[in-house]
Structure 1
Amino acid sequence: MLIHAQNISYTLPTGQPLFQDIHFSLHKNEKAAIVGNNGAGKSTLLRIIAGQETAYSGNIHVSKRLYYVPQHFGHFDHLSVAVACGIAPLLEALQAIENGDIRQELYDLLENDWDIIARYQTAFEKWGIGALSPDQPLSTLSGGQKTRLFLSGIDIFQPQVVLLDEPTNHLDRGAREQLYDWVSSTSCTLLLVSHDRELLRLCNPIWELQANGINIYGGNYDFYADQKAITAAAKEQQLAYQEKALKEAKKQQQIALERKQHADARARKNSQQGGLPKILLNARRNAGETSTAKLQQVHAEKVSELHDARKEAAALIQVQRMLKGYFEDSSLHRGKVLLTATSLNYAWAPDKMLWQPPLSFTIRSGERWSITGPNGSGKSTLMRLLLGHLAVPEAQLYQADTKSLLLDQDYSLVDRSKTLLDQALAFNERKLDTPVVKATLVNFLFGPDTWDKSCAVLSGGEMLRLSLCCMTLQNRAPDLIMLDEPTNNLDLNNIQVLTQIFGDYKGTLILISHDTTFIKETGMTHHLELRASGEWAMV
């Protein structure tokens, strides 16, 4: 085994345990993936394995050279490309020797790396960042360029074990395909965290991280999803059983209490009649009260457990059902023209138009459009044009008077400066009384203890639920919903919820996504492909 962990536990700074008693082994040539809900600690566990996080208990042993690609790169922005990807000491040593420095430590450092310039240039070219200079600040790079920079480090340093944390989050379709090919063909042992189902299909086994351990599924994502579906179906079947058992538990509790009351009454009568010695009656009374207390405790615990089990099983199902009803009908008749682009174009700089030829298309009510293309092809610019956030001549873009809404990966409709309750009230176009708004928050799994919580600290899944909650507080369902990389910050459970919700939506959808599984499962009917060259096609 290349990585072996025993009794790994991690406690948050607040004192709350994140996970505990984690055991696992990663063997040579395995390509394992860690999945789990947002907040389960997947990235934290990966940082522990990589040696980036030391505030944990337990033992972990790594027997081979390891390379780690993190999820977030913001804390590297003050560094240069060379420093961030770990080649700066080698380049500096090589430069010093070329300038006549003969210190032995420089030769020792370069023992196996005299070809470092050729290696990093080849790796940069392979991952599409050949134009980067080692001295370039990381802050000047896009998210996709940063990811490709760290991926190039795999080719530069050639480790035996690679850890990847959400590697496809910022990659365009072409770079994703390149990563998929590498994962399929590499001889490296892999451990990755991802919600990208195409990537997860290339991994085996799947490790599901929970608070009290890891469940290992001996197959790829499809096997894992099948097993989870079986479990979910069983939970659905258990809901009715749990309700019945809950009623039975309460009934038995009532029967036991009534039985005890009758026994106490008989004991008092016998005591008054002197039928039994007083000491024996008191002993029986005390024993009866003790047994009743135990019975009440057992039944109370059972009732509580059944309530908790039902709540957990029904939570996401409840959100799906609510949104299905809200999105059931579109107020617009199918086929009504909503948007028409006629020779539409945009220039961020003079004489540098985005598309050649200019875009021309018509979007009608009820249609479902996906917009795909590599980074820099103009997908987000097109979305901003369609939303009216960028100005173009009226002759280029017709927009019908419709109600539209944007749900993007940053959940920009949520004001981070507000509390949850203030955010919900800001969308209360229906002028509902505050208690009704609070009840709506509860329906979306935001209890009273969260209403004063700042929106800035919400997880991706919580942001999604709050955004959907805000939609339902508006006067009517939007006629047109635009989704811009909506799955990027979600775990698998929330991606599945989002897929089912927008699969049921009867209005018009415009979707930007690199997630081909999400595109397929939400039933896109039209596909606009933008290309890096500025060309475009309807496919």
Structure 2
Amino acid sequence: MLILQGVTYTHPNRDLLFSDIQLTVNKHDKIALTGNNGAGKSTLLKIMAGELQPASGTVNASAVPYYLPQLFGQFNGLTIAQALHIDQQLQALQAILSGDTSEQNYTLLNDDWGIEERCNEALAYWQLHGLSLAAPIDTLSGGQKTKVFLAGMMIHQPAIVLLDEPSNHLDAAGRNKLYSYIQHTNQTLVVVSHDRTLLNLMNTVCELSKRGITVYGGNYDFYREQKTLEQDALNEDVRSKEKALRKAKEIERESMERQQKLDARGKRRQEKAGLPTISMKTFKNNAEKSTARMKEVHADKIDAIAQELTHLRQTLPDAGKMRIGFNNTSLHKGKILATATNINFSYNGQPLWSTPLDFQLVSGNRLAIKGQNGSGKTTLIQLLLGTLQPTSGTLERAAVKAIYVDQEYSLVDNTRSVYEQAQQYNTGALQEHEIKNRLSRFLFTREHWNKCCAALSGGEKMRLMLCCLTIDTNAPDIIILDEPTNNLDIQNMEILTGAINEYEGTLLVVSHDAYFLQQINVTQSLELEAAT
């Protein structure tokens, strides 16, 4: 069991991240922790793990949690055994087997005679056959590092496991291993992830926001259904309040017109009756006071409704405020864009693919490029872009405009400000205020315009890149996405999904996220197999 009571965290600069977090994780619970980028999911997970201390509040755990971080740079310079905190146990076991029966070795081993066998089994399960525990962490690929720490779950067999983006860098086979493990384990799990297939294996979703923790008793699909109902209700409240504001303004106008007619009619009667000037002035003053009181009453009503409407609009999710508006490609559907005939590419004289590739890319295709890590997906992209040439076979490419979106969103120039980046794509000579209006549509308001792109998060860079593509009047004929969801939270993934579904050109996608591929309506796939 894991209990958080009144947990508050402030950054070193004293900015408040979240406050008064109340959460109980029961034995065998499988909880998904969701929230927008910057909500503090990873920070909260570190507090649960004991790696960070809250500003206030308490964390009580029935067992020491096992924590898999999102980033592994802090382990550079360590071996796998050291990073997993099993190096001393393994050394003690080897010393005992070599005849050193000192009390210190028995204390370090702690009667765990099966640790070496358990390590080998865990590494084998996570497809790390033959990997030495003495290997340096910084020599491993991103996927291998993730698998090493996933293997640690099986080695240590903890009661409580905390996972931060565990499917990042895993290929399809690795993800399936992870899904299977999560389905069958009886460990208590708290998982931060944007992998919606993984999230659907959880039995509870906890959403972290400025309001604290909101618990949804179900998997991710159930959570989305509830959020949709909440969104629909909120949109209806906004529409109702907008209608009430229009009605209040209409009533004010009609009341003022009616009062003015009554005043004018009364004035004519007074003049007709030939009343003295002092009486006429008294009547005028009374009429003006009555009109002013009426204006004040209506102004108060309108102001109250307007404030309520502003508050409701502020609670709308950011994605609900966005407008995409892609320009359409001028290519007709069915145009042949690329034809590959028996192509292969060699590294150090060795062909990359076990079987040469034969395929045709046609305008309007939505194609997934699939394969395990190291199968040459990025190489194929470079061949299609013309930055590499095949070492055998022929590849014919039509002259088209292609946009390559890599995992780091390199289309965004980190040396420029947000506004300067948008201006680089201003092929239609838009005025400054029009560029800023476009940026605002993508949630880049006044305080963002002069912000350096280097300071943007992955999700913000993705939104800025999409904004630039809508500013450019020359729409891309092909968009190539290379693991586009690795650095995005769920909200920004949904923004990307919506944008891609508006795009009518040709789409090539490298992604191990089956849910994402389904959501963007990918209908074809090209499977790559590396030569052994």
TM value normalised by structure 1: 0.87
1:524 Cα shift?
1.4
For 2:526 and 2:379, locate their aligned partners in 1 and report how far apart those are by CA, in whole Å: 14
**Do the aligned partners of residues 310 and 168 (structure 1) sit closer, same or farther apart at CA in structure 2, a change above 3 Å counting?**
same
Where do residues 188-203 of structure 1 align in structure 2 (5 Å cutoff)? 188-203=187-202
**Do the aligned partners of residues 162 and 357 (structure 1) sit closer, same or farther apart at CA in structure 2, a change above 3 Å counting?**
same
User: Which one-letter code corresponds to 1:477 in the other structure?
Assistant: A
How many correspondences in the alignment? 509
- Equivalent residue for 1:35? 34
User: Which one-letter code corresponds to 2:313 in the other structure?
Assistant: R
- Equivalent residue for 1:447? 445
- Equivalent residue for 1:525? 523
For 2:506 and 2:188, locate their aligned partners in 1 and report how far apart those are by CA, in whole Å: 44
Which one of the candidate residues 303, 306, 310 is aligned to 1:303? Answer: 306
For 1:454 and 1:94, locate their aligned partners in 2 and report how far apart those are by CA, in whole Å: 53
For 1:112 and 1:295, locate their aligned partners in 2 and report how far apart those are by CA, in whole Å: 81
For 2:317 and 2:100, locate their aligned partners in 1 and report how far apart those are by CA, in whole Å: 69
1:417 aligns to 2:420 (yes or no): no
For 1:483 and 1:359, locate their aligned partners in 2 and report how far apart those are by CA, in whole Å: 20
TM value normalised by structure 2: 0.88
1:372 aligns to 2:374 (yes or no): no
For 2:49 and 2:460, locate their aligned partners in 1 and report how far apart those are by CA, in whole Å: 28
Deviates more, 1:308-317 or 1:33-42: 308-317
- Equivalent residue for 1:172? 171
Q: Deviations over 1:305-360 (max 9, x none)?
A: 422422542742343x433xx24x33111110111112221122x23211121111
- Equivalent residue for 1:277? none
For 1:60 and 1:253, locate their aligned partners in 2 and report how far apart those are by CA, in whole Å: 56
- Equivalent residue for 1:217? 216
Task: Answer whether contact 2:342 2:392 (CA < 8 A) is retained.
Answer: no
Determine helix, strand or coil for the equivalent of 1:168: coil
- Equivalent residue for 2:492? 494
**Do the aligned partners of residues 89 and 244 (structure 1) sit closer, same or farther apart at CA in structure 2, a change above 3 Å counting?**
same
Determine helix, strand or coil for the equivalent of 2:324: helix
Task: Answer whether contact 1:22 1:212 (CA < 8 A) is retained.
Answer: no
1:428 Cα shift?
1.9
- Equivalent residue for 1:107? 106
For 2:254 and 2:49, locate their aligned partners in 1 and report how far apart those are by CA, in whole Å: 58
For 1:233 and 1:293, locate their aligned partners in 2 and report how far apart those are by CA, in whole Å: 34
1:476 Cα shift?
2.0
For 2:404 and 2:308, locate their aligned partners in 1 and report how far apart those are by CA, in whole Å: 40
1:152 Cα shift?
0.3
**Do the aligned partners of residues 488 and 294 (structure 1) sit closer, same or farther apart at CA in structure 2, a change above 3 Å counting?**
farther
Where do residues 207-356 of structure 1 align in structure 2 (5 Å cutoff)? 207-247=206-246, 300=303, 303-313=306-316, 315-319=318-322, 321-323=323-325, 326-327=326-327, 329-348=328-347, 350-356=348-354
**Do the aligned partners of residues 394 and 469 (structure 1) sit closer, same or farther apart at CA in structure 2, a change above 3 Å counting?**
farther
Task: Answer whether contact 1:249 1:303 (CA < 8 A) is retained.
Answer: no
Q: Deviations over 1:490-511 (max 9, x none)?
A: 2222222222221232110001
User: Which one-letter code corresponds to 1:3 in the other structure?
Assistant: L
Task: Answer whether contact 2:318 2:443 (CA < 8 A) is retained.
Answer: yes
For 1:531 and 1:299, locate their aligned partners in 2 and report how far apart those are by CA, in whole Å: 66
**Do the aligned partners of residues 335 and 258 (structure 1) sit closer, same or farther apart at CA in structure 2, a change above 3 Å counting?**
closer
- Equivalent residue for 2:13? 14
For 2:302 and 2:19, locate their aligned partners in 1 and report how far apart those are by CA, in whole Å: 29
- Equivalent residue for 2:135? 136
Deviates more, 1:22-31 or 1:402-411: 402-411
Structure 1 unaligned segments of length 5 or more: list them: 260-271, 274-284, 535-539
**Do the aligned partners of residues 180 and 92 (structure 1) sit closer, same or farther apart at CA in structure 2, a change above 3 Å counting?**
same
Deviates more, 1:406-415 or 1:394-403: 394-403
User: Which one-letter code corresponds to 2:47 in the other structure?
Assistant: I
For 2:487 and 2:384, locate their aligned partners in 1 and report how far apart those are by CA, in whole Å: 24
- Equivalent residue for 1:392? 390
For 2:236 and 2:354, locate their aligned partners in 1 and report how far apart those are by CA, in whole Å: 56
For 1:99 and 1:302, locate their aligned partners in 2 and report how far apart those are by CA, in whole Å: 82
Determine helix, strand or coil for the equivalent of 2:155: helix
Q: Deviations over 1:393-434 (max 9, x none)?
A: 696222211111122321111112221112112222223233
Determine helix, strand or coil for the equivalent of 2:486: coil
Q: Deviations over 1:167-217 (max 9, x none)?
A: 001100001001101111111111111111111111011111112211111
* Superposition RMSD in Å: 3.1
Q: Deviations over 1:250-304 (max 9, x none)?
A: 6789999999xxxxxxxxxxxx99xxxxxxxxxxx9xx99xx9999789656524
User: Which one-letter code corresponds to 1:406 in the other structure?
Assistant: Y
1:181 aligns to 2:184 (yes or no): no
Task: Answer whether contact 1:250 1:303 (CA < 8 A) is retained.
Answer: no
1:100 Cα shift?
5.4
Deviates more, 1:426-435 or 1:182-191: 426-435
Determine helix, strand or coil for the equivalent of 1:487: coil
Q: Which has the larger radius of gyration?
A: 2
Q: Deviations over 1:457-505 (max 9, x none)?
A: 2122211110101111213211111111111222222222222221232
- Equivalent residue for 2:286? none
User: Which one-letter code corresponds to 1:386 in the other structure?
Assistant: L
Task: Answer whether contact 1:38 1:460 (CA < 8 A) is retained.
Answer: no
Structure 2 unaligned segments of length 5 or more: list them: 259-277, 280-288
User: Which one-letter code corresponds to 1:27 in the other structure?
Assistant: N
1:516 Cα shift?
0.7
1:522 Cα shift?
1.2
Task: Answer whether contact 1:339 1:363 (CA < 8 A) is retained.
Answer: yes
For 2:420 and 2:3, locate their aligned partners in 1 and report how far apart those are by CA, in whole Å: 47
For 1:397 and 1:165, locate their aligned partners in 2 and report how far apart those are by CA, in whole Å: 41
Among all aligned residue pairs of Structure 1 and Structure 2, give the percentage whose two residues are the same amino acid: 44
1:83 Cα shift?
1.1
For 1:62 and 1:298, locate their aligned partners in 2 and report how far apart those are by CA, in whole Å: 52
Determine helix, strand or coil for the equivalent of 1:396: strand
Deviates more, 1:181-190 or 1:420-429: 420-429
